[in-house]
Structure 1
Amino acid sequence: MVGKLLADQRDGDYHIYPEHIRNLPIPIATSKLQEEIAQLVRIIMEKIHGGQDCEAEQQKVNQIVSTLYI
């Protein structure tokens, strides 16, 4: 998602300049969504530290963030 937005900002240019980053829209998540993401990140960090797979949690974070851009 962000890759597409960044590509649109660059308009075919190979380089990324600070104004490209500044112009990316950053949606505001509700407190509930922020807490849900934070909890998932805590679980991901624990699993990474423990050498466990955290793909499902990472996908869930990606899904939540994607919904913010719709």
Structure 2
Amino acid sequence: MAGKLLADQRDGDYHIYLEHIRNQPIPLTTPKQQEEIAQLVRIIMDKTHDGKDSVTKQQKVSQIVPTLYI
């Protein structure tokens, strides 16, 4: 959802300006949600650093983040 909002604001422009970022909503999350995402990101970073596949974990993050905006 946030990615779509940014794309809509940019209206096809390839540049991202401060005003685009300023207008992005920041969802309120619980500490549990924050930790779940942080843990997944740490795993993704470790796998990427080691040259391993992290697609499954990336997909999990991609599933979680949009639900934060509901």
TM-score band by shorter chain is 0.7 to 0.9
Deviating runs (4+, > 4 A) in structure 1? none
TM, length-normalised to structure 2: 0.80
**8 Å CA contact 2:2, 2:66 repeated in 1:** no
Q: Which of structures 1 and 2 has the bigger CA Rg?
A: 1
Q: Which runs of 5+ in 2 are unaligned?
A: none
Q: Sequence identity, in percent?
A: 71
Q: 1:51 to 1:69 in 2, by over 3 A?
A: same
Measured against aligned partners, the alpha-carbon deviations of 1:1-57 in whole angstroms (never above 9, x if no partner) come to 3332023334x3635432221011110211001100111111111111211100000
- Alpha-carbon RMSD across the aligned residues, in angstroms, is 1.8
Q: Which runs of 5+ in 1 are unaligned?
A: none
Q: 2:55: which partner in 1?
A: 55
TM, length-normalised to structure 1: 0.80
